[in-house]
Structure 1
Amino acid sequence: MKPVLSKGFFALLEEAEQAVESLTPEQLMESRGDDKDLLLVDLRDIRELQREGKIPGAFHMPRGMMEFWIDPESPYFKGIFAEHSRWVFYCNKGWRSALTTHTAMQMGVTHIAHLAGGFSAWVDAGGEVEEVPKR
C-alpha cells in the first residue's frame, strides 16, 4: 500500500528553497578564495564522491550525520564546524543541500547557504573538481 503523506518532498523542498540562501556556482567560485572562514560541505554519499570527485577543499559529511556533527553538545560533534563561521552545503542537484541547510537554520545556524543546482551545476559551470580515492 502506498503511504499517504500530508506533505511530500517537493513541498518540503519548496519551503526550504524559499527560506535558505542559495548561491550560484559562479557566486561560490568568486567568494571561495576571499572567504577564509568559509567551510564548504559535501553532503553526498561517499560512493558519489569516489565516482564523480568533489569541489577542492570541501569537507565530506554524510547528510544523515548533520544534526549530530554540527551540534557542540553531541558526542559526535566535529570540531571543524567550530573553526569556520560560514558554511555552504552542497549535494548532487541541490535538493539534499537545501533541505539540510533549512534544518541547520532551524537549529540556529545563521551564516549558512547552499549551492543551487549542486555539484552538477558546479561541473556545468566549469568548476574545479578533485578526485576522491577509494578507501
Structure 2
Amino acid sequence: MSAPPPSPRIDEILAQARDGVAQLEPAEVPAALARGAHLIDVRSAVTRDVEGHVPGAVVIERLVLEWRLDPSAPWRMEDGPALDDEVVVLCNEGYHSTLAARDLRDLGFHRATDLRGGFRAYHRLGLPVAGAPTRYVD
C-alpha cells in the first residue's frame, strides 16, 4: 500500500489562490472605492478595534462572508455586490483575504481579489484610517 501524496503547504495554497489574480495595491484603494468597488474587511474585531478601519470598507466577519454576499442566500446583506462587481477583501497582512477572495470567486464573484499586504500595508502608506467602520454587517 502506497502512502498518500503529500498535502500542499500553505504557501502553495496561497500561490495557487493568487495565480492569475491581480491583487489590489494599497495605494489603489481610494480609486477602487471611487469606481464602485466593494471593499470587505474580514479582520477580527480585536484587530480592527486597535488598528482602525479603512474608510468605505464594509466589515463582515469571515465566518459568514459567503452567506452575506451570495445573491441567492436568504441571509444576503442588503445592497450587496453583484457577481460582476469588483470585490476586494482585506485582512491584517493579505493572507487570510487571499483565501476569502478565492472562496468568493468559487461562489461566482469572478472579479474578487484582495488587498496586497492587507490593512497594515495600507496603514504604512499613511492612507486614511477611521476609528469606526463605515458599515458593519453581522
Q: Under a length normalisation based on structure 2, what TM-score does the superposition of the two structures give? A: 0.82
**Is contact 1:63–1:96 with CA below 8 Å preserved after alignment?**
no
RMSD (Å), alpha carbons:
2.2
The amino acid across from 2:41 in the alignment is D
- Cα drift, residue 40 of structure 1: 0.9
Q: Equivalents in 2 of 1:69, 1:79: separation in Å?
A: 9
Unaligned runs of 5+ in 2: 1-5, 134-138
Residue number in structure 2 paired with 1:122: 122
The amino acid across from 1:112 in the alignment is A
Q: Equivalents in 2 of 1:17, 1:94: separation in Å?
A: 11
**Is contact 1:21–1:112 with CA below 8 Å preserved after alignment?**
no
2:76 is paired with a residue of what secondary structure?
coil
Question: For each residue in 1:73-117, what CA deviation from the matched residue of structure 2 results, as whole angstroms up to 9, or x when unmatched?
Answer: 223211231479221110000001111111111111122221100
Q: Equivalents in 2 of 1:103, 1:127: separation in Å?
A: 28
Q: Equivalents in 2 of 1:20, 1:101: separation in Å?
A: 10
Q: Equivalents in 2 of 1:51, 1:40: separation in Å?
A: 19
Residue number in structure 2 paired with 1:21: 22
Unaligned runs of 5+ in 1: none
Higher helix proportion, which one?
Answer: 1
The amino acid across from 2:79 in the alignment is I
Residue number in structure 2 paired with 1:72: 71
Q: Under a length normalisation based on structure 1, what TM-score does the superposition of the two structures give? A: 0.83
Change (3 A) 1:22 1:47: same
- Cα drift, residue 122 of structure 1: 0.1
Q: Equivalents in 2 of 1:131, 1:6: separation in Å?
A: 41
**Is contact 2:33–2:56 with CA below 8 Å preserved after alignment?**
no
Counterparts in 2 of 1:39-118, with a 5 A limit?
Answer: 39-82=38-81, 85-118=85-118
- Aligned residue pair count: 128
Q: Equivalents in 2 of 1:11, 1:125: separation in Å?
A: 28
- Cα drift, residue 127 of structure 1: 1.1
Sequence identity (%): 27
